[in-house]
Amino acid sequence: MGDMKDESSVANAIETINLEMTYRSGRVDVPAVQGLNLTVRQGEFIAIMGPSGCGKSTLLHLLGGLLQPTGGSILIDGIDISKLSDSERTTVRRKKISYVFQRFNLFPTLTARGNIELAKKIHGNGAPNSNGIAPIFEMLGLGGKFNFRPSELSGGEQQRVAIARAVINRPSIILADEPTGSLDSRNSHTVLRMLRDLNEKLGQTIVMITHDSEAASTASRVIEMKDGRILTPTARYSYEPEFERLY
Ligand SMILES: Nc1ncnc2c1ncn2[C@@H]1O[C@H](COP(=O)(O)OP(=O)(O)O)[C@@H](O)[C@H]1O
Ligand SMILES: [Mg+2]
């Protein structure tokens, strides 16, 4: 009994159970996610890799409540969002989820500071989160550039502002779809360092899609997808000791 209680009290940020997403385009069914089971604990930083078209972005949209799955369940902080109405799902999404995109999607007419403050104003829920702001600004490493507009910042600086904007209201989960996909390697490094700092210092849960194995190595766990499913993490390596014994 005690053991069961301990097990259920382990906090999962995300849990999917037999998750399915089949797009219907005309008369053709496109199965993008097929019977996918994924558990992400609070405070984990996971990277998802896999070939183009294997369903990574679809999975992220499902996790973020932007798409209604055609089968299975998604639990966010224990709430089954697949059973909610559209408006209920939107409420959970606004409160718990933030996105970072490959193209930074900052407001071009606002300064770095303005972009971050706008997010605070729109979605912020006041004082309880305020103490999170100082360390986030510190991690930004923008120097004196808080009053610069996006066009006056490098790609890496813009993406760091976008990440600060995503995290400013302390969402449970940050979903990042190829956040370094538009950056050169130096800027990629600074962006990845910021994500790792948010994860390590503030305990932020992060799910990041990437094509770059170096970027993936920033995460605490790497998951490989193929054909809408997760490959078992040890599959690729588990044969090596056997292989050595054979020869
Ligand atoms: N809105 C959509 N309508 C129909 N098919 C889609 C849609 N979005 C994605 N797909 C299809 O679903 C599959 C997975 O796509 P996606 O999730 O974008 O993969 P990835 O991000 O891994 O490249 C692909 O075959 C893609 O063509
Ligand atoms: Mg994609």
Residue that has been written with the tokens 């997760």 in this structure: 230
Residue 233: what pLDDT? 58
Residue 43 pLDDT: 95
In order of 68, 74, 98, the CA distances from 61 in angstroms are 9, 11, 11
The residue segments making up the domain with residue 16 are 12-232
Provide the domain count of the chain.
1
Ligand number, closest to the Cα atom of 51: 1
| 27-63 core/surface letters (b: 16 or more CB in 10 A; e: else) | eeeeebbbebebebeeebbbbbbbeeebbbbbbbbbb
CATH code, 81: 3.40.50.300
Q: Is 193 a domain residue?
A: yes
- Tell whether 4 is covered by a domain: no
Please give the mean pLDDT across all residues of the chain. Answer: 86
In one letter, which amino acid is 223?
I
Taking the centre of ligand 2 as the mean of its atom positions, its distance from the CA of residue 42, in whole angstroms, is 24
Name residue 216's amino acid.
A
Instruction: Give pLDDT tens digits for 23-65.
Output: 998 899 999 999 999 999 999 999 999 999 999 999 999 999 9
Alpha-carbon distance of 130 to 133, in angstroms, equals 6
| Residue 142, pLDDT above cutoff 90 | no
Residue of 30, 63, 99 to mutate, ligand 1, most atoms within 8 A of C-beta: 30
User: Does 243 reside within a domain?
Assistant: no
- Spacing of C-alpha 233 from chain mean position: 19
Query: Per the domain annotation, does 240 fall within a domain?
Result: no
Kindly state whether residue 118 falls inside one of the protein's structural domains.
yes
- At 88-105, the pLDDT tens digits run 998 999 889 999 999 889
pTM of the model: 0.87
Give one DSSP letter per residue of 166-189, joined into a string: HHTT--SEEEEESTTTTS-HHHHH
Question: Does residue 123 carry a pLDDT above 90?
Answer: no
Structure confidence at residue 3 as a pLDDT band (50, 70, 90): very low
Q: How is residue 217 written in tokens? A: 């190595």
Residue at 23 is within a domain: yes
| Helix, strand, coil shares, percent, the chain, to 5 | 40, 25, 30
Residue 1 resides in a domain: no
CA 244 to ligand 2 center in whole angstroms: 37
